[in-house]
Chain A
C-alpha cells in the first residue's frame, strides 16, 4: 500500500508565499474550469497549468504517488463510457452523428454477434472525464503541500463574518488531522507488517479474502488512533490549549498586493472560460449532452 503522502512540503517559493485563501481560490477556479470544459485538449492545458504550479512550488513528484489510483479510475471511465456512452438517452438515438465503432467485444464470428460495440467517441468522452479528475486531484492537495499549516491556522482563525468567527477548536481539528495523515499511514504500514508476519494475505485473492483482511488491519489502526487522540488531548491540555478566548498567533499572514493580483487573474480567466464554453461552445466535444453544434 503506498504511503499517502499529502503533507506540507517546506520550501520558499512564490506559491508558498501566497495567502492560503489565494490558493483556495485557485483550487476553486480549477474546479469550475474543469467542469465547464470537456475537450481533452483544453483539459490537458489545465493539467499543464497544475503541473507548472507544482514545479513552481518545488513539490517533489513522489508526493503524488496517489495519482496511480487515479490512473486506474481514468481507464475505468474510458472503458465504461466506450461501451455505454451511446446508450444514454440524449444521443443514443441521434441519427445525425456518425459513431465510429472501433471493434466489438462480442465479435462478429461469435453466435449472435456482433454486439457490445466499443465506440471511439465514448472512449474519448470517458478520457475527458478522467482528465477532469486528474486536473482536480492535482490541484487540490497543492493547498496542503505548499502552505505552512501555521499559516493556514492563522488565516482560518482570522475569518470574521460580522462578529462570528470559525471556532478555534474546529480549526485545530482540521489542521491536526492533516498533520496526522502520514502518522496514521505509518500505523497502517506497521500493522500490515505485523499481520503479514502472522500469515495474513493483503494482496491478491478474491474480493472475499480482501474484505476479511480488513479487520486485522483496521481494528489495530483505529485503536491506536483513538489512543493517540487521547494522548494528544492530554498534551494539549497541559499546554493550556483553549485557555484564552483570543489566542495569539505568532505567524502573520497578510493578504498582499500579489494576492489581489493573482485572485483577480483567476476570476478573469475563470469567467472567460465559463463564457467561452457556455456562450460560444469552445472546449466542448461536439456530441456531448445539451451542448455544441
Chain B
C-alpha cells in the first residue's frame, strides 16, 4: 500500500481575528495519482484548507492550528514553505493574481530560478512545462495579453516547472469560457493519468468534472460532511439538496424521473454521455 500523497488528520484551524474556527476536525487522505474534487458553498473553508495544504498555514498566516497535515510525506509544520513548494503547487482562480512575469518563458522560469537551480536545468524544465501545456510557440508572449484559458494553462505550467507531486487548483474554470474550460480540464486529466500527479480541484462547475474525478469531498462550515466516489456523492442528489447544492444536470434529470418511480438500475448517470446511455437502455427496456 503506497504512502498517501496527502494525509490530513484532525486538522482544526482558527484565524486569529475570527470568532470561530474555519476548519474543524478535518480528516482527508489522497492516494497518489488520484483526482479528487472538493465542493461546498462559499465560506465552507475550502480556501483555508488549501492554505494549510501548501504550508502557508501555519508559517505565514496567523491563527491556532491543531492536527497534522502531511503532503508527499512532509509534515507542513516541520518544513518551510519553500520546501513544501517543491512538493505541492497551487493554481488560483484568477490568473491575474499569480502571473506577473512579462513573458510566458519568464513565468515558467520563476519558480526554478527561486530555487537557485543551474541554468541548464531551468531551461530543461521550461521546455518540459511548455510541452505539456502545449504552449511551446507562445513562450515570448506576454501572459497578460493571452486569453483566460491560456493564462490558466500558463499558471499550471509555472507550477509544473517546480515538479511537484501534488497539484491543487482553486476553481480553475470559473472565469473561463466553455472551450477553455475543456482544455484546462483535459490538461489536468493528463497530468494525473499520464504523469501520476495527485490532483485536488475545487469547483462549482460539476457537469464538467463529474466524469473526471475519482473522489469527491463535500465541505460545509469547516467540516468534511461527505466523502466518496462520484457515484456515491452525486448519485444521491437528495443529500446534496439538503446541503444547498445541486448535482450534475444529467443526474438531476434522472433523479426527477426516479422519484416518479423510474428505475435506473441503481446508478444515476453523472455525465451527458452516461445520461444518453441510460435513456437508451430505458428505451430498450433494460435497466
Contacts and interface: CB of A to CB of B under 8 A. Distances in A.
Given A232-B100, A250-B122, A240 B117 contact: no
Interface residues of B, number: 37
A248 B85 CA distance: 17
Contacts of B152: none
Interface in B102-148: 102-103, 106, 109-119, 122-123, 142
Contacts of A246: 116
B111 A240 contact: yes
Interface stretch (B20-28, B67-75, B86-94, B278-286): B86-94
Interface of A: 8, 10, 148-150, 176, 179, 183, 228, 231-235, 237-251
A283 to B, nearest CB: 40
A-B residue pairs, 10 tightest by C-beta: A243-B82, A244-B116, A235-B98, A240-B82, A240-B85, A231-B97, A239-B111, A240-B114, A248-B113, A250-B109
B101 interface: yes
B100 A179 contact: yes
B100 A176 contact: yes
B54 interface: yes
A43 B98 CA distance: 44
Contacts, number: 88
Contacts of B210: none
Contact of A239 (B56, B106, B158): B158
Contact of B81 (A179, A232, A238, A247): A238
Contacts of A240: 81-82, 85-86, 111, 114-115, 162
Nearest to A180: B100
Contact of B85 (A8, A10, A237, A251): A237
Interface centre among A8, A150, A231, A245 (most CB of B within 10 A): A150
Nearest to B94: A231
Nearest to A179: B100
Given A149-B102, A239-B111, A242-B114, 6 more contacts: A231-B92, A235-B100, A238-B89, A238-B159, A248-B113, A251-B106
